[in-house]
Structure 1
């Protein structure tokens, strides 16, 4: 049996070395390592370590986002860290008071999550400072100098981050956009597998929905970077216009990728033997590769290099192959018209990929972004208002944040008492630190992180011990330490297992430089990790557990509501009513976000104890049917949105199907929400029903496939209703 490492292409390496995560890893490593090295050089090693500790704490809050949000998060974290350390220093030497303080701080700092993820990161930074302070609690005379050094380290990290932002104001948005295109390319490549008769369609849908979650996260990150940054949306710079235009085109491209839905099982039966589906799959894969190269070029901030491949000859050959196909089989009765529609969609995808390349490569000196899109940019990003009343409103067991704060408080007190009374290791503060890092609001993430922490600590301990055993030279060891630090901090937000492995290894090497025996460090590290993970896991499982199945009804309701609104805009178009482009994009965004949230919660539920899962098969069916429904609505809407002629006349059977589809979704939504769902004042359903009754004989020339498409929407909506009924049993 042979083993070979996966080959990394130049494009894969560029996505790594030019990513936001790698630049963050380099900055964090520099911010932490430099003060300690300078302190050792100047005979002030303890002071240097304290400054580095301040940088470590502040790095927790440095999540991607607009410059003003990052700055405010840094300042809030500096204040929180200072207050926590002062309070810890004041009760030093009084174990009972220290335990009470830890209980209060862990509860209050965790409750900051009510104001959003960045506020929660501020609380995490202060919790980390609380745990690290237990390592070497400062005496009362040394308290203020100690706090000053911590603040100096935080200010040092903040200075590095702000200088990078000032020197490269568009870099974060470019990195987010490049990674978004990379995720979209992965989504398109997965769409290609649906044309492969050898794959299982259920597996294809499962992977596609999982990738949809990733794409949604990346798109939200780009929106946050672009539409919250005044420098990008307000200033008339070429770089800003490029970013806005490219992202706008990328979102529309994703809409068309999602909209390209067909009955793949029927397609495989009808055309699998002809080989035409393999050619479609290959062409889609090549378009995905083209998009991936564009994402890499944007990430690296360079021109595409050579012009992107011209897919016109391939599209022409595919058109010839479709035209040469024999008449449809009598068993399937499927016309080659569906293949011609696929060909039209492929041409559109190729054109839009080319547009993205053009937008990013041209100077755009006179091109301006869509005024409506930019003027309404604030409507495309979520807003978290800092209302102090939210804290009090969440002091109830019905609040998931409150339950998490109670769990954190109890777990931290147990960890502190256990470390003080039963475990007297030199680094027993690792137990408390492990608890604060491992305990998450949801059980599934807590479980996943605990497993990764234990495995990563074991593997990292072996790796660090091997380096220390095999490499006696101190300079070479320091080189490994440097590399391990960069890797650990690069993957801390994406691959936690990798972070734990290299973090453990570099800590072992660091403690060896401090003169400590690494074997003893390994044993204590593993023991403290196991104890801390056991406390976090037990608390998450036993104390007010938050199961994903409890959250799913709200997510199912939100998804149905978004799809119903999306279907109503389609009905508006068919009734001849104008739907503004911004309104359509907002409705489309709501559908994608709601669908991604539901899919992510479903994935998390599958990692929870089997007894807590509710209707996993039915929820999977709901997720797939929801994807099919929104894809078909997008397909119909996109076709008419870009048409130059008038909206096609809808035959009576099409109108009836559309009315029935809306009625089915409304009924399912009302049952799922357990409350009546009133129709809005401008709801098109009554008008369409009246039109069906009044002029059912007047519809003549129209697209012959339109009734079939609307009937399919009716069928999928009815199937969603049946699945909803099963979920309510």
Structure 2
């Protein structure tokens, strides 16, 4: 229990909640002591408004984002107060303002957060409409609150400058451990392989998100502030984690074939499975040590596990004889080499978090980093290019604008106590995704009712304002802490905070709770209906785009692998970029499927085919990673003519799949030479069989022979697999387009 509490209080979410709570509470306490509670509360509101824009990034970008948001929210509050008395100006202005603020989301995560801050400011501006000097003073206090939040955020940054990236890396290590554990589960004969693959796909989405968070933080820090030793260390760990994931994907073993092959020697596969589980367990323990900031001490002897597997292979070869065991030895050697590479990567991470880390490990690690990060600039053209119904953000902005204006007018003409609660509920709940909007609607409603009942019960018993104030502070801290973890819990604590604050200011608590529940219900209903009827962004409309991007990314990855296999040399930046994009786009395709599965049944069009295409693209990525990692880590022979023919054929098949998606072109003009391919595969296998029949040469040439045989086997298997996968992708897309 204590460990869970410590883990929660050490999390990024709790730290961020601490920042905004301190920035909001201190002004209230100070100004209340001076008899100016209203001024302190206005500064607290400014801190709340500015807080969402404080996303992880370089210090320079963080400061710019917070300062811009502080001035933006203060200006919005002032302008609304100025134009409010003039209905003929106010309503058109409010409509345009809401739309433009919504459209800021086109500028990525920071733009989305600034947009949210601006919209929340619009909704809460109606809670305190002023005139004359009072409105200028109020806007100034909101600005002061935002700038005070910046100071608090900077203090936290300098106290623990590396804590965010440490926690992100720890979480990434933990997720990578889960992925390796799932790979180990595949070796169980009675396991549900489809379920494991589905779990892997969901985990891939999580890994993509956290990889992007780490990539943006580390690379933006390097490009803006220069590379510190700490930054290089984290970058080395991150690269190792990406390579561990690639290695995991690359081990697309035929488990059924292996089980059949070694049915009489089950201890071989059990020895390997133990090693696979210990790889995952080592990462899990490493993740815990990073979170606790303890020097890592290895618990698992991975080298001993490797030696055990090597010994088992030797015994197997000795028992059957070299010729009879040659095929099995090749399979087992491939598994051993994969495990050796994983151990090597894990050891790099272990050294980075131990006292023996060497600065030489970081040499050249930050080369070409800026190419892996989307540049942070905000041209007007990005906004104008999205001003069409083809843009999801444009449709969402229109939807949000109409819903907020309808909610505002409804709140004015009907006897609602606080119209801004309706607006705030709409802003918080209404998301571009139908599934998320539906989920948040229920969570917020349940949280509001539950929070109101709990707070009302506490106020019925507790009458001391000091105790109520302490409870309010605790509730707002927990409310912000749970926003990203559990929205229902967050809504519960935020409602309790609001009730406690009003409990101090006004005696009509029962009316407050009733109106808040009513306003929340109205806002949630409007948000839900708007997302269903106002230009809904059903996910099946986005699936073709995600499919095209995933196939193109895999195609580019295939192209870079072929170039590297033909030309040899060192790994190019283009190769690493293609690999990164393939991982991201396949993950995005799976995320799109997840969103689609949350929508109404009538909108889940061709859901089985979409899932099959997500699995096929993931399998294609796995096969590409298998070939890519092999040619990176082994001395390979000259690429054969057949290799290039198959690669070209697979690339054409993927291009054909894309043309079907884009143009509904079911009749291919490309003559894919399947019969010729079959002949080439037979030729390669005959060459391999002839080499095997010749027997293993003398000891001096034995290692080279083994490598050639291993390469031939792996390349042939992957070429056949790549060709089959590309054909299945084409067939499934045809079914998708015709059904």
TM over 0.5: yes
Mapped to 2, the partners of 1:96 and 1:282 lie a distance apart of: 74
Sort the Cα spacing of 1:499 and 1:285 in 2 relative to 1 into closer, same or farther, 3 A: farther
Determine if contact 1:308/1:354 at 8 Å carries over to the other structure.
no
Measure how far apart 1:84 and its partner are. 1.2
Which residue number corresponds to residue 545 of structure 2? 554
The answer to whether the 8 A contact 1:190-1:204 is kept is: yes
Judged with a 3 Å threshold, the aligned counterparts in structure 2 of structure 1 residues 82 and 270 are, in CA distance, closer, same or farther, namely same
Question: What do residues 506-530 of structure 1 show as CA deviations (whole Å, max 9, x unaligned)?
Answer: 3223322334444333222221111
Q: Which residue of 2 aligns with 1:681?
A: none
In structure 2, do the counterparts of structure 1 residues 13 and 567 end up closer, same or farther at CA, with 3 Å as the change threshold? farther
Q: 1:96 to 1:442 in 2, by over 3 A?
A: farther
Deviation of residue 618 (structure 1)?
A: 0.9
User: Are the aligned partners of 1:102 and 1:409 in contact in 2 as well (CA < 8 Å)?
Assistant: no
The counterpart of 1:721, out of the listed 693, 714, 730, is 730
| Cα gap change, 1:55 to 1:265, in 2 (>3 Å) | farther
Distance 1:93 1:290, change over 3 A: same
Give the TM-score normalised by structure 2.
Answer: 0.87
Structure 2 residue 587 is matched with structure 1 residue 612: no
**Match 2:721 to one of 696, 712, 715:** 712
Match of residue 518, structure 2, among 516, 520, 527? 527
Aligned to 1:204: 196
- Match of 2:588? 597
Residue 658 of structure 1 and its aligned partner are, at CA, apart by 3.5
- Bigger proportion of residues as helix: 2
Judge conservation of contact 2:543–2:592 (CA < 8 Å) in 1.
Answer: yes
- In structure 2, what is the Cα distance between the partners aligned to 1:289 and 1:357? 13
Q: Partner of 1:680 in structure 2?
A: none
1:167: Cα distance to partner?
4.2
3-state SS in 2 of match to 1:728:
helix
CA distance in 2, matches of 1:474, 1:337: 76
Indicate how the Cα distance of structure 1 residues 671 and 214 shifts in structure 2: closer, same or farther if over 3 A, else same. Answer: same
How much has 1:264 moved relative to structure 2? Answer: 3.8
Structure 1: distance between partners of 2:507 and 2:313: 72
Distance in 1 of aligned mates of 2:472 and 2:133: 34
Q: Give 1:152 deviation, angstroms.
A: 0.6
Change (3 A) 1:197 1:527: farther
How many equivalent pairs are there?
Answer: 699
| In 1, Cα distance between equivalents of 2:245 and 2:381 | 39
Counterpart-to-counterpart distance in 2, 1:334 and 1:711: 18
CA contact (8 A) 2:276 2:339 kept: yes
Q: CA deviation at 1:437?
A: 1.6
Q: Does 1:132 align with 2:132?
A: no
Aligned to 1:353: 346
Asked whether the equivalents of residues 564 and 662 of structure 1 are also in contact (C-alpha less than 8 Å), the reply is yes
Q: How far is 1:65 from its partner?
A: 1.6
Q: Are 1:648 and 2:637 matched, yes or no?
A: yes
Question: Any conservation in 2 of the 1:81–1:125 contact (CA below 8 Å)?
Answer: yes
Q: 1:440 to 1:113 in 2, by over 3 A?
A: same
The answer to which of 115-124 and 103-112 deviates more is 115-124
- Pairing 1:221–2:213 present: yes
Partner of 1:344 in structure 2? 337
Mapped partners of 1:370, 1:463: distance in 2 = 57
Q: Please give the residue correspondences for 1:144-543 in structure 2 after superposition, counting only pairs within 5 Å.
A: 144-230=136-222, 234-235=226-227, 237-267=228-258, 274=266, 280-304=272-296, 306-320=297-311, 335=328, 337-362=330-355, 364=357, 366-367=359-360, 369-371=362-364, 373-425=365-417, 427-469=418-460, 477-543=468-534
Contact residue 295 and residue 355 of structure 2 kept, 8 A? no
Q: Output the TM-score relative to the length of structure 1.
A: 0.88
Aligned partner of residue 375 in structure 1, secondary structure: coil
Cα 1:231–1:334 shift into 2, 3 Å: closer
Gaps of 5+ in 2: 666-672, 692-707
| Superposed displacement of residue 453, structure 1 | 1.5
Separation in 1, partners of 2:340, 2:489? 41
Query: What is the CA–CA distance in structure 2 between the aligned matches of 1:181 and 1:35, rounded to whole Å?
Result: 40
Contact 1:650 / 1:702 at 8 angstroms: preserved in 2? no
Query: How far apart in 1 are the matches of 2:279 and 2:203?
Result: 17
1:150/1:363 CA distance change after superposition, 3 Å: farther
Instruction: Give the C-alpha shift of residue 604 in structure 1.
Output: 0.4
Report the CA distance between 1:473 and its aligned residue: 6.1
CA contact (8 A) 1:241 1:364 kept: no
By how many angstroms is 1:640 displaced? 1.8
Contact 1:419/1:428 (8 A) holds in 2: yes
Whole-angstrom CA distance in 2 between matches of 1:368 and 1:179: 23
8 Å Cα contact 1:241-1:368 kept in structure 2: no
Query: What are the ranges of 5 or more consecutive residues in structure 1 without an aligned counterpart?
Result: 1-7, 677-684
Q: For residue 505 of structure 1, report the CA deviation from its aligned partner.
A: 2.4
